[in-house]
């Protein structure tokens, strides 16, 4: 069997359950030594006592299959603990090559009902958590590149969501965090390319603890792999972490059920120029009002229809 990640080391956050778990298993199957990170709180809203069990169980599963893994149970949304996670990978494996960010929580509420703490907690875990681990991994790769006098190997795979693409009425905090992750990813891709590092983001659709409400009405098939199984997502993560994906950088990919869609960056749909020095209200009314009147009722984002996501989306990784 080919082991494209042999000799490489990886961190996977939120890897004690769901998507993170299968991603960690896939990286290990492809030959990587893996640090399995999970804070271990039982509630999908980040509630409950933290536990080492989820991360340790996945690390043990990898070792039982002949791979190399160790557990880390820190909170990646804490700057110091995220730094300790990166330090652990370097101390144990000599270097860090792959970072997969997956940790997240949900605290759903309509925007007019959301409490400040519900907003802050989701932004903290998703967006700040992604930044924290990237910050320390990026510093590691920059130092290695300077020492080597040239590019080194580095891969970042971040987890966004279709909630960012299609909107999600009851998840303003989650949708905003996932949109922020895309911006963080493209900025990271530009900043680290000269060091040999790529950064990409995925929007996975999978049946996990976080999406149990979303897919409640979609039964698992009696035979074969569930189209919404997290196992459909893991191969793309393994590929993006591999040398084969060295030309893929700053990209956003939707993945689920045997499908991968490459999302284009936003394009200009229409352009209007003022006939004088600057626009007047009447001129804008004459140009923009007819333009939007021609669009289908309720359409707000051109890419949504292409991806088959016209309905309001709720939930994600």
- From 145, 161, 168, 314, the catalytic residue: 161
Q: How far apart are CA 61 and CA 66, in angstroms?
A: 9
Active site residue 174: yes
Active site residue 271: no
Q: Which helix (H) or strand (E) holds 214?
A: none
Let me know: does 237 contact 32? Beta carbons within 8 Å: no
- From 9, 174, 242, 314, the catalytic residue: 174
Active site residue 178: yes
Q: How far apart are CA 252 and CA 185, in angstroms?
A: 9
Convert 92-102 to b/e letters by CB count within 10 Å (16 or more is b). ebeebbbbbbb
How many residues in the chain?
A: 317
- From 178, 195, 242, 314, the catalytic residue: 178
Catalytic residues: 161, 174, 178
């Amino acid at each position: 069997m080919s082991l494209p990640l042999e000799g490489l080391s990886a961190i996977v956050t939120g890897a004690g359950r769901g998507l993170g778990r299968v991603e960690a298993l896939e990286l290990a199957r492809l030959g990587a030594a893996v640090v399995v990170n999970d804070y271990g709180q039982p509630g999908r809203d980040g509630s409950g006592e933290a536990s080492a069990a989820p991360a340790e169980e996945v690390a043990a599963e990898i070792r039982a299959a002949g791979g190399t893994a160790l557990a880390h149970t820190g909170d990646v949304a804490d700057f110091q603990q995220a730094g300790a996670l990166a330090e652990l990978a370097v101390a144990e494996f000599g270097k860090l090559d792959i970072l997969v960010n997956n940790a997240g929580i949900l605290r759903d509420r309509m925007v007019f009902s959301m409490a400040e703490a519900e907003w802050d907690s989701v932004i903290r875990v998703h967006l700040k958590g992604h930044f924290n681990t990237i910050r320390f991994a990026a510093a590691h790769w920059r130092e290695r590149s300077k020492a080597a006098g040239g590019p080194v190997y580095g891969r970042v795979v971040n987890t966004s969501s279709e909630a960012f693409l299609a909107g999600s009425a009851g998840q303003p905090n989650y949708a905003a965090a996932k949109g922020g992750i895309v911006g963080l990813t493209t900025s990271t891709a530009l900043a680290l390319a000269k060091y040999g590092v790529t950064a990409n983001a995925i929007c996975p659709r999978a049946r996990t603890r976080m999406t149990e409400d979303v897919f409640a009405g979609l039964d698992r098939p009696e035979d074969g792999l569930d189209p919404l199984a997290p196992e459909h997502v893991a191969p793309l993560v393994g590929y993006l972490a591999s040398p084969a994906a060295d030309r893929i950088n700053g990209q956003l990919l939707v993945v689920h059920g045997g499908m991968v869609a490459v999302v284009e960056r936003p394009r200009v749909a229409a352009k209007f120029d003022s006939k004088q020095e600057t626009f007047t209200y009447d001129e804008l009314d004459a140009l923009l009002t007819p333009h939007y009147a021609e669009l289908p009722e309720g359409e707000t984002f051109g890419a949504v229809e292409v991806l088959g996501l016209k309905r309001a989306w709720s939930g994600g990784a």
